[in-house]
């Protein structure tokens, strides 16, 4: 703060003013004119003027609810009054006689009836205290925002962990079935031995699923170490047809247990995409697994792909389940949102928020609609690999 010299030595100046300025080059001339005019006024009237640079102390500007500078505020005697704008000197010329009259009336009132009066210095101190409170409030607000961000990151990690734990069940089941089948053929007497080709296929399945489990655990550890709710996307040239059939093969046992019919419509000339294979696998597993879970026995699930544009490929997972209410089709991708009917069991909502994050990280879109015949169709897009 810059304090102007006072004509009178009395520190209890009867008029207390604040001048708010800034560093803009365009306002410097106007500020100098205001300074010069106020110095001329000091030759006749006693007042204290404090100058505040809003760039250095912005919380003062917030305290006085200023929208422009320069601005001159009369803080004592009350009531407080603010002058601002390009014609500030003209406003000051208009109000100065009224301020002097208010000062004279204040002094006359104090002389006529002694009373405890708040001094200008106390008023300044209260303003400074208020400004400090505002500054502390800003810091508290920043801390709250940081806390909210950290909580969001923790919730995201919890969601990733839940999805990976959910997805781990399928490859673990496949490995267990393969190993149990091999063990049974070796330990049970009188049982027809397995052919060498079947044994080789079971070992291959166990190895493949074990590698998948290892990748999932690596992803889980990566998220646990992360400091932000971000995904590590490593895009590469990817053949979606092969990936789709791998996912369906992985979930085939669960579909067979409900006698579900699996249909596919994936063109052989589908161009390759530019995407992270394991992340896209997670999306497909989640969507197909949800379709299996919600489709009644003897229902149908359809996995299709469409070369939508020259830059995008669209994949769709449709089922003949109960569908999604229209009012919830946008909210279903929100973090931890659950349909009222599904709160008693797992289902749509497990990992859908993460699926959205994965697809958006690939600069794609994901959405759901419900055909007139019933059921749900989840669609998402991925970029075509550039030639």
Tell me the angle at which helices 120-187 and 277-294 cross, rounded to the nearest 10 degrees. 80
Q: Are residues 209 and 243 in the same domain?
A: no
Q: Are residues 239 and 226 in the same domain?
A: no
Q: Are residues 260 and 355 in the same domain?
A: yes
pLDDT of 332 higher than 70:
yes
* Residue among 90, 97, 49 at smallest CA distance from 73: 49
Report the length, in residues, of the chain.
387
Element (H, E) at 21: strand 16-21
Last residue of a domain, one of 212, 230, 248: 230
136, part of any domain: no
* Between 225 and 283, the higher pLDDT residue: 283
Q: Are residues 310 and 247 in the same domain?
A: yes
Spatial distance between the Cα atoms of 188 and 194, rounded to a whole number of angstroms: 12
* Between 336 and 312, the higher pLDDT residue: 312
pLDDT of 317 higher than 90:
yes
- Establish how many alpha carbons lie within 13 A of residue 204's alpha carbon, considering only the half-sphere containing its beta carbon: 6
pLDDT tens digits, residue range 18-40?
888 887 767 788 888 888 888 88
pLDDT tens digits, residue range 367-386?
999 888 888 999 999 999 88
* Between 155 and 342, the higher pLDDT residue: 155
Q: Are residues 164 and 45 in the same domain?
A: no
* Residue among 287, 282, 289 at smallest CA distance from 258: 289
* Residue among 55, 41, 34, 51 at smallest CA distance from 7: 41
What confidence category does residue 3 fall into, taking pLDDT thresholds of 50, 70 and 90? Answer: very low
Q: Are residues 259 and 358 in the same domain?
A: yes
**pTM of the shown model:** 0.49
pLDDT tens digits, residue range 108-142?
877 765 444 445 455 555 555 555 665 666 677 77
Question: Token pair of 253, please?
Answer: 């046992």
Low-confidence winner among 1-10, 72-81, 152-161 (lowest mean pLDDT) = 1-10
Average pLDDT for 307-324: 89
Q: Are residues 327 and 259 in the same domain?
A: yes
Query: Domain residues for 326?
Result: 235-383
| Sole residue written with tokens 């603010």 | 82
pLDDT at 180 (0 to 100): 83
130, part of any domain: no
pLDDT of 223 higher than 70:
no
pLDDT tens digits, residue range 48-61?
888 888 877 777 77
Q: How far is CA 278 from CA 251, 295, 313, 384, in A?
A: 16, 25, 17, 17
pLDDT of 79 higher than 80:
yes
The percent of residues in the chain predicted with pLDDT above 70, rounded, is 76
Last residue of a domain, one of 117, 137, 169: 117
Max CA-CA distance within the chain? Answer: 121
Average pLDDT for 167-186: 79
Average pLDDT for 339-361: 68
pLDDT at 10 (0 to 100): 40
């Amino acid at each position: 703060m810059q304090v102007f010299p006072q004509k009178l030595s009395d520190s209890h100046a009867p008029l207390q003013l604040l001048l708010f300025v800034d560093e803009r080059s365009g306002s410097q001339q106007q500020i100098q004119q205001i300074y010069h005019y106020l110095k001329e006024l000091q030759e006749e009237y006693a007042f204290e003027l404090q100058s505040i640079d809003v760039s250095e102390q912005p919380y003062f500007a917030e305290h006085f609810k200023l929208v422009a500078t320069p601005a001159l505020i009369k803080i004592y005697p009350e009531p407080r009054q603010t002058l601002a704008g390009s014609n500030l000197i003209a406003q000051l010329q208009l109000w100065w006689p009224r301020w002097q009259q208010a000062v004279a009336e204040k002094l006359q009132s104090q002389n006529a009836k002694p009373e405890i009066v708040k001094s200008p210095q106390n008023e300044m101190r209260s303003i400074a205290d208020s400004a400090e409170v505002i500054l502390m409030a800003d810091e508290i607000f920043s801390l709250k925002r940081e806390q909210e961000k950290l909580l969001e990151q923790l919730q995201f990690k919890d969601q990733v962990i839940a999805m990976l734990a959910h997805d781990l069940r399928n490859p673990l089941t496949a490995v267990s079935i393969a190993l149990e089948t091999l063990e049974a053929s070796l330990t049970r007497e009188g049982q027809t031995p397995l052919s060498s080709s079947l044994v080789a296929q079971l070992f291959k399945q166990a190895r493949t699923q074990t590698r998948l489990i290892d990748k999932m655990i690596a992803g889980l550890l990566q998220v646990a170490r992360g400091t932000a709710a971000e995904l590590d996307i490593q895009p590469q040239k990817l053949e979606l047809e092969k990936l789709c059939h791998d996912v369906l093969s992985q979930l085939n046992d669960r579909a067979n247990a409900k006698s579900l019919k699996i249909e596919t419509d994936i063109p052989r000339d589908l161009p390759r995409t530019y995407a992270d294979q394991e992340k896209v696998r997670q999306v497909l597993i989640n969507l197909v697994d949800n379709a299996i879970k919600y489709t009644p026995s003897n229902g149908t699930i359809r996995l299709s792909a469409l070369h939508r544009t020259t830059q995008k490929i669209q994949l769709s997972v449709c089922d003949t389940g109960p569908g999604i209410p229209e009012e919830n089709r946008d909210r279903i991708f929100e973090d931890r949102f659950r349909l009222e009917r599904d709160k008693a069991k797992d289902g749509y909502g497990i990992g859908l928020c993460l699926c959205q994050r994965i697809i958006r990280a690939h600069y794609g879109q994901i959405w759901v609609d419900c055909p007139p015949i019933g059921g749900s169709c989840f669609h998402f897009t991925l970029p075509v690999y550039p030639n």
